Amino acid sequence: MDDDETIIRQALKEDLGSGDKTTDALIPVDLYGRARIYSKEPFIMAGIDIAKKTFQILDPAIEFRKFCEDGVHTDKGQCLAEVSGRVASLLKAERTALNFLQHLSGIATLTRRFVEAVKSYPVKILDTRKTTPGLRVLEKYAVRVGGGFNHRMGTYDGILIKDNHIAACGGIAEAVKRGKASAPHYMRVEVEVGSLEEVEEALESGADAILLDNMAPESIEAAVSLAEGKADLEASGGITLDTVETFAKTGIHGISIGALTHSVRAVDISMEIAI
Amino acid sequence: MDDDETIIRQALKEDLGSGDKTTDALIPVDLYGRARIYSKEPFIMAGIDIAKKTFQILDPAIEFRKFCEDGVHTDKGQCLAEVSGRVASLLKAERTALNFLQHLSGIATLTRRFVEAVKSYPVKILDTRKTTPGLRVLEKYAVRVGGGFNHRMGTYDGILIKDNHIAACGGIAEAVKRGKASAPHYMRVEVEVGSLEEVEEALESGADAILLDNMAPESIEAAVSLAEGKADLEASGGITLDTVETFAKTGIHGISIGALTHSVRAVDISMEIAI
Amino acid sequence: MDDDETIIRQALKEDLGSGDKTTDALIPVDLYGRARIYSKEPFIMAGIDIAKKTFQILDPAIEFRKFCEDGVHTDKGQCLAEVSGRVASLLKAERTALNFLQHLSGIATLTRRFVEAVKSYPVKILDTRKTTPGLRVLEKYAVRVGGGFNHRMGTYDGILIKDNHIAACGGIAEAVKRGKASAPHYMRVEVEVGSLEEVEEALESGADAILLDNMAPESIEAAVSLAEGKADLEASGGITLDTVETFAKTGIHGISIGALTHSVRAVDISMEIAI
Amino acid sequence: MDDDETIIRQALKEDLGSGDKTTDALIPVDLYGRARIYSKEPFIMAGIDIAKKTFQILDPAIEFRKFCEDGVHTDKGQCLAEVSGRVASLLKAERTALNFLQHLSGIATLTRRFVEAVKSYPVKILDTRKTTPGLRVLEKYAVRVGGGFNHRMGTYDGILIKDNHIAACGGIAEAVKRGKASAPHYMRVEVEVGSLEEVEEALESGADAILLDNMAPESIEAAVSLAEGKADLEASGGITLDTVETFAKTGIHGISIGALTHSVRAVDISMEIAI
Amino acid sequence: MDDDETIIRQALKEDLGSGDKTTDALIPVDLYGRARIYSKEPFIMAGIDIAKKTFQILDPAIEFRKFCEDGVHTDKGQCLAEVSGRVASLLKAERTALNFLQHLSGIATLTRRFVEAVKSYPVKILDTRKTTPGLRVLEKYAVRVGGGFNHRMGTYDGILIKDNHIAACGGIAEAVKRGKASAPHYMRVEVEVGSLEEVEEALESGADAILLDNMAPESIEAAVSLAEGKADLEASGGITLDTVETFAKTGIHGISIGALTHSVRAVDISMEIAI
Amino acid sequence: MDDDETIIRQALKEDLGSGDKTTDALIPVDLYGRARIYSKEPFIMAGIDIAKKTFQILDPAIEFRKFCEDGVHTDKGQCLAEVSGRVASLLKAERTALNFLQHLSGIATLTRRFVEAVKSYPVKILDTRKTTPGLRVLEKYAVRVGGGFNHRMGTYDGILIKDNHIAACGGIAEAVKRGKASAPHYMRVEVEVGSLEEVEEALESGADAILLDNMAPESIEAAVSLAEGKADLEASGGITLDTVETFAKTGIHGISIGALTHSVRAVDISMEIAI
């Protein structure tokens, strides 16, 4: 509903505070004009509607005409959107709108590269909870735009027993047992393991899904055989664009990548005004 | 005052929502324990007090003992802090605290590398307004921790006439004139230019500071001579770790780098529980 | 974290507005005293810590000593807690604290009666999303206190395909197919059906759990046989204290009851001041 | 102004959180349709505009056509409203809208029954401050819809000296004296008593209105004679549908009933989609 | 409860925004010291606890020792309070704390002068709803500190039929009739009139209180005779310190003065730091 | 963006709370009408759009037709605006809208008188941070409407070293030195002094601007000669309409006046309804 709006308002507030002193000093209130938003490198677009909302929350009278949709590949120099209205409003919203667009498109672009790298395999590229504080919903949206799949939105919508939970419970078997006893009937129980022995322990204790953390491709392959038809398997831990295909080849069902959201390179986008 | 707190609360909310189902299912409410936070690679620490606040906003009874301060260099495997209290609370705050720490330390680490690269020159490394929406205050703090300087916090605390303002005013001279007429007496007027001719125009019109956007080092050197004693000069535009020294050599007063905050690689940090 | 606090603050605000005119007119600011909270009928206690927070949010100097914990059965006339501090503060928080206590204990008491009614059967009493707007988290907590189990907290933490979804998809098979294709790997897919034929269709399409809506006990018994080992079954629809055992006998795994939260009778609790 | 809106937004948020996983998985974003809201038992409608707002806050493009107004009696099976628009939006708002409608209509229906039971007497049915936390304004609205009258909205808009105030002041006379000395000139002073002697004491001390708490009908009748022309009288304390007429016969001016808002049975309402 | 806190936080935010650049640049974080707050003219103190809260909301570690209470007369040069703690915190809270103190003491001082001017007469000095937006609760508190009485806090806690209501109803009699029919039993009905004829009309229609707007002292005296024992009378309309006694002499029960809160002269107060 | 809106909503809430009891009792919901807003004395209008927003936030269907703009001089009896719509809405918004209009126009009117008094001199009339808590942005807007200039919006958008900073630093020279070392390149450094000797010290230490606090006109004249071409000079401290021209004559660049915002006399404005 209005989560995007809250984030956008905060971002505008953070940039405009008690007023844009430059724009207020230079630009007549009744000057109207038009600006175009351009890509300055090729990327996968994500966030075009967030950019639109940013302009229109600042000034509902701004018209925003988009020339492409989220998910498309854009070339360098392509015009992505045209905004028109009060010039002072265009200038006030510019930086915030571009900050969203650059960050979210950065995520979608990186995700798409991972997705492309494993496209011959029936494996899902997944994100993690390693997101930028405050932006999780938007960042996970950008992952989907890039062709990835979302892992848990938070700790509230899935059971994932991690190493620290296991340490606190005293072992995988006990942790999974507790999980299966308490998990609501509409949720699976996933558990994180680090070795083939632990995979076996997880399977025996009845885990529905297993996250293989920092395991080598060969071990993962073995785990896939063990778990066949019994549990969903997911690999994670330092997997890069260079290594992702090797992991995909193991037959694993999902590969989760923290870098999709925690180490984003913004793409380059600019706005040019034309009176 | 309480801006950090607002951001931390939102981040915790985003991760915990209606409750951490795994922890609630597995961990007894009255289990107490201790966890240690480790660096998994060398970096410049930033955000240790934010991490502390994150744990303590979640559960005021948690004790957080830090073993290093923001700004120090940490080695791989170093113990950064020890947290103790209700185990369920430690687990619930873990991801959010680490997300802050990894992101802010990533910024400080990158900033420090730029600062080191130009340490023989009397030039300041500056950030920009290209920050992650919602995190500007924290990100600009991390830049300072890394040894950088902050450019404007927002549009409200400084005058910077950018290309789009100039386009809307019809030229540098007119834009600077309007700026000088309306700027409060306690602020300087800075203007963005793209060529030596524009530097001259800016100086003639009385600009107090000039941002040289995407100009080559040779032109910047010439601009430095022209502006000597008349205006503060700042370079920007695609300057990288590889090229920054070349720019520093020109005698420029400041170098602003969007990537410090818009293209951050999170550093690797983990928490390990010990009951 | 602070959800309870938000709700409590709103409830206090709603009752006190710009000030308690009676208390402000009558009670000297420096009058200190003690009050006791009594049950006026037997019930299952729920919300004692919410009552405590209510007093202490209003005035952090109030001491609240509870004489019983959530989940216990209380007799008529039992002293549940003693509060002491500024008399004016005790009077200002009284109504709001009691309103919470009466409502939540009402839920726990009703839930307990359902749980008792089926205690010889391996079946869970479940709540629904038919909760009082704004109080869902607290009401679902009270259900757990009464011995019930929570169904979904909201639409965000579980997949439940309801009649209207099926209508919009054009059939059970298609709806379950879409659900299984899009559901995150850490969630099961539950679907609502209304007849044995639909149970079969749901099982064939691979549903992990099935909600039998308004089906007669005999049909439910047949469904249990059909689904054995294949899917979790849950019954719902107008089940009362009088009929619940009949449903439990069918072998069904869960029985969900909207009335637990949508038709609550407050229990009777009062506070008596002693100067 | 926007109090309703705040409550509705919270209720939607509580149900939708980070997103309706079922609807998002199953229903195409561009599927449009229509749904009808039906009564499944006879009741007094209350909250139809709240239901409308709920749908339209979720999605302003939804059209909501109501077929009856608050206050009317509806039969079982009657179509109350038709909503049309994006099917996904209809499904997302359904539960929250119905929760409001079922709860508020439950209050109006119960109130109407009390009002009907005393319709031959010049007595007002009044609510109390025993409301569901967070919903007071809406619940008191539903009481008016049912034909009841509101007692104080909170402690801020009326003086009512209760037993605990009297205990803290050391007696009725002293309490009323303080009340009359400090009450603003635009307010009456009402005091709670429990016996005929206390009625006399209250009258002598000049109380403008008297609440007779838990007094038997005969005593109330005597109190009515005593107070004739001197003070407004109100009865309260465990008065039910079975006993209310007996109290009305005493000549009392008002009867306040906590159960109107603290022990509500939701009425049964459903929504059926039609593509 | 926390209304003051909300206002104080907003006021601090408004002054500090993204940070106090001067203090952050000049004052070491670990410099501790002391400051004293002095009156620079004689006045009636109001708001000393608000000032304390302002310092302590900014920095809970600040100690605030007050040397006088709200309501006392202070001389020029008197030390009102001593604050000690982090010097940077003292400086950051200074302006906001003084702004509250100067404004509220201004109100109390003016009120006291009116109260003194009529002290030989049994008449109350009352405020109005002509308050500074956002500060009503605090301003009305300051009026009480000065010895005045509060009229309605808002439109929600009293019935006052004003000229525009009368115009909309078509006359005093009709307006009062509607008011008496709908007013809750715990409230009086007050009506505004502008002539003796209207006083008579108001009395006949049963008004409990009458506000005489802009009527001359002689007419007010006549009104007092007419209303004797039937209604509470209040005068308003441009009454000043010079004329207030003349009005008090008429025997009127209350005199309401908009200027108490709408035309306040801040008293002069300063803070001096001592390291 | 939405700061005005927040303030207006709070002000309406403060006046209307749980509902306008008089209007709700007297005015039929479907009564439509018109009202006119009149000046009752001559003044400079400020806040007409705030008044408009106030009506329209309360009820978006209200039409507000203004007959003059902020900044114009209005005569007694002039019709400033006409509002039409639901009469109940007009009455509910009336007081809040007028409170804004009366306060802001009071500020603009006083500012204009100062501006007129020095119109023959090249000096700016400036405001201060001595504003009413919560209203700074609006009050500073009203100063501009009156022809004045804004000093800092807060501590975040300018460097001004005050007496307490100097005391904490141990002297003007040290304070200015620290300020110049840490001030961002886009800001000037202003320092407050109290004597000619301190002016010299400030100039020597390189201050960009100097605030002369409580200095006599002759000393200010001397300071102007000393600072010529080196620093911007500003006078402050108890300057009144009677004395301001004397200060203007000294050649000072700015005169800052706390009373513009801390000691405002509301102008008299009323609304009259016509059905």
The DSSP string of B132-158 is: -TT-HHHHHHHHHHTT-B---SSTTS-
- Domain membership of residue E16 as a residue range: 3-108+265-274
Judge: F157–E21 Cβ closer than 8 Å, yes or no. Answer: yes
B127 is catalytic: no
| D240 in the same domain as D124 | yes
C199-216 tens-digit pLDDT: 999 999 999 999 999 999
Instruction: Look up residue E83 and give its amino acid.
Output: V
Residue E110 reports pLDDT greater than 50: yes
B10-41 tens-digit pLDDT: 999 999 999 999 999 999 999 999 999 999 99
Mean pLDDT score across all residues of chain C: 96
Residue C227 reports pLDDT greater than 70: yes
- Return the pLDDT at D2: 58
F237-267 tens-digit pLDDT: 999 999 999 999 999 999 999 999 999 999 9
C137-170 tens-digit pLDDT: 999 999 999 999 999 999 999 999 999 999 999 9
Residue E191 reports pLDDT greater than 80: yes
How would you class B264 by CB atoms within 10 Å of its CB: exposed for 0-12, middle for 13-18, buried for 19 or more?
buried
| Closest C-alpha to A22, from B256, B184, F232, B171 | B184
> Which positions ≥6 away from F209 have C-beta within 8 Å?
B185, B186, F188, F189, F190, F191, F231, F232, F233, F234
Nearest residue in chain D measured CA to CA from E210: D186
Tally the domains of chain E.
2
D21 touches B: beta carbon within 8 Å: no
Q: What CATH code is carried by the domain that includes residue D197?
A: 3.20.20.70
B85-139 tens-digit pLDDT: 999 999 999 999 999 999 999 999 999 999 999 999 999 999 999 999 999 999 9
Dihedral sign for Cα E129, E131, E137, E140, please. negative
- Return the pLDDT at D161: 98
* Band of pLDDT at residue C229, cut at 50, 70 and 90: confident
| C252 in the same domain as C184 | yes
Q: If you average pLDDT over residues B224-231, what whole number do you get?
A: 94
pLDDT over 70 for what percent of chain E?
Answer: 99
**Helical residues (DSSP H) of chain C, grouped into ranges:** 3-16, 21-26, 48-58, 87-117, 136-145, 163-169, 172-182, 196-204, 217-227, 244-248, 259-262
- Return the pLDDT at D120: 97
Q: What is the pLDDT along chain D (275 residues), one digit of tens a residue?
A: 457 999 999 999 999 999 999 999 999 999 999 999 999 999 999 999 999 999 999 999 999 999 999 999 999 999 999 999 999 999 999 999 999 999 999 999 999 999 999 999 999 999 999 999 999 999 999 999 999 999 999 999 999 999 999 999 999 999 999 999 999 999 999 999 999 999 999 999 999 999 999 999 999 999 999 999 899 999 999 999 999 999 999 999 999 999 999 999 999 999 999 87
| A143 in the same domain as A119 | yes
Please list every residue in chain D whose beta carbon sits closer than 8 Å to the beta carbon of residue B11: none
Please list every residue in chain C whose beta carbon sits closer than 8 Å to the beta carbon of residue F18: 17
| F252 in the same domain as F176 | yes
Q: If you average pLDDT over residues E60-64, what whole number do you get?
A: 97
- Which residue spans within D58-182 are E strands per DSSP? 63-66, 73-74, 79-86, 124-126, 159-161
* Band of pLDDT at residue A1, cut at 50, 70 and 90: very low
B228–chain A nearest CA distance, Å: 25
Q: If you average pLDDT over residues B245-268, what whole number do you get?
A: 97
- Return the pLDDT at E2: 59
Judge: D188–E190 Cβ closer than 8 Å, yes or no. Answer: no
- Return the pLDDT at C138: 97
Mean pLDDT score across all residues of chain E: 96
E17 touches A: beta carbon within 8 Å: yes
pLDDT over 90 for what percent of chain B?
Answer: 97
Q: What is the pLDDT along chain F (275 residues), one digit of tens a residue?
A: 457 999 999 999 999 999 999 999 999 999 999 999 999 999 999 999 999 999 999 999 999 999 999 999 999 999 999 999 999 999 999 999 999 999 999 999 999 999 999 999 999 999 999 999 999 999 999 999 999 999 999 999 999 999 999 999 999 999 999 999 999 999 999 999 999 999 999 999 999 999 999 999 999 999 999 999 899 999 999 999 999 999 999 999 999 999 999 999 999 999 999 87
A1 touches C: beta carbon within 8 Å: no
**Helical residues (DSSP H) of B20-171, grouped into ranges:** 21-26, 48-58, 87-117, 136-145, 163-169
F183-228 tens-digit pLDDT: 999 999 999 999 999 999 999 999 999 999 999 999 999 999 999 9
Please list every residue in chain D whose beta carbon sits closer than 8 Å to the beta carbon of residue E129: none
Q: What CATH code is carried by the domain that includes residue A68?
A: 3.90.1170.20
E21 touches B: beta carbon within 8 Å: yes
- Return the pLDDT at E132: 97
C2 touches B: beta carbon within 8 Å: yes
Q: Choosing from B36, B66, B95, B152, which is the catalytic residue?
A: B95
- Return the pLDDT at D1: 46
Residue C260 reports pLDDT greater than 80: yes
Q: If you average pLDDT over residues C24-37, what whole number do you get?
A: 96
| F176 in the same domain as F129 | yes
- Return the pLDDT at C172: 98
Residue ranges of E 41-100 with Cβ closer than 8 A to chain F:
87, 90-92, 94-96, 98-100
| C136 in the same domain as C233 | yes
Q: Could you please report the per-residue DSSP string of chain E?
A: --HHHHHHHHHHHHHHTT--HHHHHHS-TT-EEEEEEEESS-EE---HHHHHHHHHHH-TT-EEEESS-TT-EE-TT-EEEEEEEEHHHHHHHHHHHHHHHHHHHHHHHHHHHHHHHTTTSS-EEE--S---TT-HHHHHHHHHHTT-B---SSTTS-EEE-HHHHHHHTSHHHHHHHHHHHS-TTB-EEEEESSHHHHHHHHHTT-SEEEEES--HHHHHHHHHHHTTT-EEEEESS--TTTHHHHHTTT-SEEE-THHHHSPPPPPEEEEEE-
- Return the pLDDT at F1: 46
- Angle at alpha carbon of residue B6, lines to B4 and B12, rounded to 5°: 100
Residue C244 reports pLDDT greater than 90: yes
| D193 in the same domain as D98 | no
Judge: A19–B87 Cβ closer than 8 Å, yes or no. Answer: no
| C206 in the same domain as C133 | yes
* Band of pLDDT at residue E1, cut at 50, 70 and 90: very low
Task: Report the distance separating Cα F201 and Cα F209, nearest Å.
Answer: 12
State how beta strands C63-66 and C79-86 pair. antiparallel
What does the CA dihedral E177, E183, E188, E190 come to, rounded to 10 degrees?
-50
| C135 in the same domain as C233 | yes
In Å, how far are B167, B177, B178, B214, B230 from B206, measured between CA atoms? 18, 8, 11, 22, 9
What does the block give as tokens for A103? 């960050």
F213 is catalytic: yes
- Return the pLDDT at E67: 97
| B250 in the same domain as B165 | yes
For E130, phi then psi, to 5°, come to: -85, 65
Nearest residue in chain E measured CA to CA from A17: E17
B25 touches E: beta carbon within 8 Å: no
B13 is catalytic: no
Best B5, B7, B22, B261 residue to mutate vs chain A (most A CBs within 10 Å): B22
C164 touches D: beta carbon within 8 Å: yes
B241 touches A: beta carbon within 8 Å: no
Task: Report the distance separating Cα F57 and Cα F64, nearest Å.
Answer: 12
- Return the pLDDT at F244: 98
| C145 in the same domain as C72 | no
| C134 in the same domain as C70 | no
Judge: C19–E154 Cβ closer than 8 Å, yes or no. Answer: no
Judge: E185–D253 Cβ closer than 8 Å, yes or no. Answer: yes
